[in-house]
Chain A
Amino acid sequence: QVQLQESGPGLVKPSQTLSLTCTVSGVSTSSGDYFWSWIRQSPGKGLEWIGYIYYSGGADYNPSLRSRVTISVETSKNQFSLKLSSVTAADTAVYYCARATSTSRASRYFDLWGRGTLVAVSS
């Protein structure tokens, strides 16, 4: 059974860097069939795509977050990670890792999601 599981601190101080890891089971992150993604949802709000990475290391980010985001993949551990720098209260959200199909970019969609992890930004 394919599963994604987020892990990381639930509380981050303002101006610090938020770091999360997604552990993948049941499928290899070195598969060329998928992109590995991060998506967040602020409390009571909608979904916001953060970015994704391919097994080769190629990544694409939301332009509104690009200057603060780094997504990396560690295929030996079957994990991928998110780093978001200079966080503020506006970055408080449930962070999901998700799998995106590697069809053409325009037709790509998210076919599997983790359960999500709440990260609060507060001093």
Chain B
Amino acid sequence: SYEVTQPPSVSVSPGQTASIICSGDKLGDKYVSWYQQKPGQSPVVVIYQDTKRPSGIPERFSGSNSGNTATLTISGTQALDEAAYYCQAWDSSVIFGGGTKLTVL
């Protein structure tokens, strides 16, 4: 079955750029969405269809997808961006990555 892989954790300093990757075989041929989940809260979509940002999501969130890797980029990272981030794609069914805990130091 198809799988996507994320690093368990990423650290970034406030104001710097955070990059969270999601890897899978020929992932660039699929659409990827990204979800932010803060402790005790439900996930919120921050990027869908690789690069699109829902209304209300800050412009500092952006996405890309090519080859075997999709990337969520957070520019000018703020303390409130500290959360778990999950990538999601479709194969024979919905696939979620294992999640990446973003720490803003």
Contact = CB atoms under 8 A, between A and B. Distances in A.
A13 interface: no
A110 B86 CA distance: 12
Given A106-B31, A111-B54, A115-B42, A48 B96 contact: yes
Considering residues B33, B42, B92, B99, which has the most beta carbons from chain A within 10 angstroms of its beta carbon? B42
Interface stretch (B15-23, B43-51, B71-79): B43-51
Nearest to B99: A46
Contacts of A77: none
A49 B42 contact: no
Interface in B10-34: 30-31, 33
A108 interface: yes
Contact of A96 (B42, B88, B90, B94): B42
Contacts of A109: 31, 33, 45, 48-49, 88
Contacts of B54: 111
Nearest to B32: A109
B93 A49 contact: yes
A119 to B, nearest CB: 15
Contacts of A96: 42-43
Nearest to A63: B93
Interface string A34-53: 00000000000011110000
A60 B93 CA distance: 8
Given A46-B86, A106-B30, A111 B48 contact: yes
14 contacts: A46-B98, A46-B99, A47-B99, A49-B96, A96-B43, A106-B30, A106-B90, A107-B48, A109-B48, A110-B33, A110-B88, A111-B45, A111-B48, A114-B42
Question: Closest 7 A-B residue pairs measured CB to CB?
Answer: A49-B94, A109-B33, A113-B42, A109-B48, A47-B96, A107-B31, A46-B98
Interface of B: 1, 30-31, 33, 35, 42-45, 48-49, 54, 86, 88, 90, 92-99
